[in-house]
Structure 1
Amino acid sequence: MAEQVRQAEHEDGVLTRIGQAIMLHRAGDREEARNRLAALWQEIGPRGDAFHRCALAHYMADTQDDPRDELYWDLRALEAAERFVTDRPARSGAPGGGPAAAPPAGGPGARQPLAALRAFFPALHLDLAADYAGLDRPADARAQLRRARASIRALADGEYRRRLTDAIERLELRIEGAAGPFR
């Protein structure tokens, strides 16, 4: 029992530290946020909890200066989310047996990690589409927009869904204007 409590405290601590780095980034300290997220990424390691890796990589992407680095981290976030969903049948409850937690600061807000990651999928695909558009890869951007649009259907109606839908439409228009009609 004591080991489960320590594990739950560690997991809550990871999400808290991600949230603290996000606050630094939103306050304008991009470099310090990136440094803290990078240190946490090293601490979690390649076999760390997929839920934590997804949230961490998702926010790490936002701190990057180079669009290729942003794409790299967004791809890692998607890979971790897909791994979490794929590995889920072997799990019982929250990752590591600890309590379920919501994504940090500004995430979809779901209480269960699986629900939170499912709610992340449209945003992850939208981020990748924006990355590809910024790297002048419109075909890849369109493919990710299709995936974002398909995954948004799983979301309940509400502000989060509306914001994502609007962002998808804005990016579609941007890509359409740069490279012809969206397909």
Structure 2
Amino acid sequence: MMHLEEITAAVELGRTGDREAARQQLTDLWNAAQDPQTRCAIAHYLADVQDETEDELRWDLQALEDVEDDGWLPSLHLNLADDYRRLGQVELAQEQLAAARAHLPGLPDGAYGEVIRAGLEHVAEALAAGSVQRLETSPSS
């Protein structure tokens, strides 16, 4: 059985700069995960430690495929919008921004909701400016 501590430790490795070790540990945890919600969470974090946008997109799409809790949807669609923006796929990025916005009413007040709302604005601004660069305020950083 998988423990939240193992996932948290792997995510922390990525946040402190050891993206390679984080990728390996999260991939092992994802392969061992049985339930879709755990797989969704791990895929969501795996996307964040990828070096290539295409790989990040693949994991973000996997997370969306496994999602069971609607509370994840604003963040998942935001990350997909940013992936598509960085890949120059404007229409897909716009579709994902619209999907994220559609789920905003379900976001809680507080820090998490504020981060997602701010992220949506940053990605929308970058998309409007035609930027394909990773944002300093990237949803995946």
Q: For this structure pair, what is the TM-score category when the shorter chain's length is used for normalisation?
A: 0.7 to 0.9
1-structure distance, mates of 2:48, 2:112: 19
1:72 to 2:58 alignment: yes
* 2:17 alignment partner, SS class: coil
What one-letter code is carried by the residue in structure 2 that aligns with 1:130? D
Which residue number in structure 2 is paired with residue 32 of structure 1? 21
- Structure 2 residue aligned with 1:178, among 120, 124, 130? 130
- CA RMSD between the two structures: 1.3
Which residue number in structure 1 is paired with residue 5 of structure 2? 16
Q: TM-score, normalised on structure 2?
A: 0.88
1:119 to 2:35 alignment: no
2-structure distance, mates of 1:123, 1:31: 23
Deviation at 1:118, TM superposition (A): 2.3
* 2:129 alignment partner, SS class: helix
1:130 to 2:82 alignment: yes
2-structure distance, mates of 1:16, 1:36: 12
2-structure distance, mates of 1:20, 1:128: 25
Deviation at 1:148, TM superposition (A): 0.6
* 1:178 alignment partner, SS class: coil
Cα shift readout 1:150-170 (whole Å, capped 9, x = no counterpart): 111112322221221111011
Q: Percent identity?
A: 41
- Structure 2 residue aligned with 1:62, among 48, 62, 70? 48
Which residue number in structure 1 is paired with residue 110 of structure 2? 158
1:142 to 2:131 alignment: no
Unpaired segments of 5 or more residues in structure 2? 132-141
1-structure distance, mates of 2:107, 2:92: 24
Deviation at 1:60, TM superposition (A): 0.4
Between Structure 1 and Structure 2, how many residues are aligned?
Answer: 131
What one-letter code is carried by the residue in structure 2 that aligns with 1:132? Y
Unpaired segments of 5 or more residues in structure 1? 1-9, 85-116
Cα shift readout 1:94-133 (whole Å, capped 9, x = no counterpart): xxxxxxxxxxxxxxxxxxxxxxx32221010000000000
1:50 to 2:54 alignment: no
Which structure has the larger Rg over C-alpha atoms? 1
What one-letter code is carried by the residue in structure 2 that aligns with 1:131? D
Cα shift readout 1:21-67 (whole Å, capped 9, x = no counterpart): 001111110000000011112222xxx20110000000000111111
1-structure distance, mates of 2:40, 2:32: 14
Q: TM-score, normalised on structure 1?
A: 0.68
